[in-house]
Amino acid sequence: MRRIGLGLFIIGITFAKAYGQEDYGPVNTGAANYLTISADARSAAMGGVGVAAPGGDHAVFHNGAAALSDVTRRGGVAYTYSPWMRDYESGYSLHSLGSFYKINQRNAILLGLRYFGYPEMDGTGEDASGIHPKEIAVEAGYAYEVIKNFSVSATFKYLFSDMGRIGNSRGASSVAFDLGVLYKCGINDWEGAGWSVGLHASNLGPKINYLTSKEALPATVKVGGAADLPFLQMHKLTLTADLGYRLSPADVQALSVSAGAEYAWRELVMLRGGYHCGDKKKGDASYATAGAGVEYAGVRLDFAWLFAGHEYLARNTFWVSLGYSF
């Protein structure tokens, strides 16, 4: 086990190292940084995009308004697992569960759960032996089509950090909100083709109070665009990109860009690739991703892999998602 100080654990030193930031000196990455990790394999395979891409099971994590963009599905649920930073140290893991259900053509409800586990660590204080820190986010959202092709969403999050027995504290909690907007439109004289633009503000809420310090949530604003381009009857190409700005903490305020593409054959087999460009000095590294997926009779299996340089401790991380939609 590694002995780790409470202060380092709280401010997210783990995540600063994950993104290779230690080369530029200490930075306060704030709390609940697991919320910045892609929560599903499809998004991860395309560089982490999701603001304007067709939503569904994981729309609650990217932009709830996108849950209404797929007219072929009424609802769905999907589970994702990722052994985060597995090349650095075993024990870090992200589990997510996302779902949505359309009440009708203009209304949808969304539910999400994220669990992030840390390796076993040494605590401090009385009876502090091995502890297993973990963080949990419970999310519930609602999407509404205001007018044709224009949707909005709001998502509420309850955040809990269970530190085990560290000092005199067993954890801390906070709440946060996400707000989303999406507009979609078809392309004239191109059957099945369309484009969409979206805006998403995430993790807006008060700081988490850890003993003697309060740490800011990873508040972020993103704008994104996507285009669905079917061709030769059985083929479709989806192109999408997001431009994001990290609002808090102040130490990591910076722009980022993600772009990705997906090729689908008969909506049965999908190939994906993407790239994320971040500011390494602000704790956000650049990396490439790739992945694939298959879907049959509503059951979907997706996989993604992250490629990065040696200094990025999250290199060679992968995601696996299993879902069902109807």
What burial class does residue 104 get, using C-beta atoms within 10 Å of its C-beta: 0-12 exposed, 13-18 middle, 19+ buried?
A: exposed
pLDDT on residue 72: 85
- Please write the tens of the pLDDT for every residue from 159-183: 998 876 554 456 789 999 999 999 9
- Please write the tens of the pLDDT for every residue from 255-306: 999 999 999 999 999 999 999 999 988 878 899 999 999 999 999 999 999 9
Rounded-to-integer distance, Cα 108 and Cα 145, Å = 9
Class of domain 2-325: mainly beta
Residues facing residue 44 across a β-bridge: none
Average pLDDT of the segment spanning 142-169:
86
pLDDT on residue 25: 47
pLDDT on residue 122: 64
The pLDDT > 90 percentage for the chain reads: 67
Q: Supply 281's token pair.
A: 């000095």
Average pLDDT of the segment spanning 308-322:
90
Residues facing residue 175 across a β-bridge: 158
Local confidence band at 30 (pLDDT 50, 70, 90 cut-offs): confident
Angle subtended at Cα 106 by Cα 102 and Cα 107, rounded to the nearest 5 degrees: 45
Count of CB atoms situated within 10 Å of the CB of 129 = 10
What are the boundaries of each domain within the chain?
2-325
All residues at 6 or more sequence positions from 218 whose CB lies less than 8 Å from its CB, including other chains? 29, 30, 31, 32, 33, 35, 36, 203, 246, 248, 252
The pLDDT > 70 percentage for the chain reads: 86
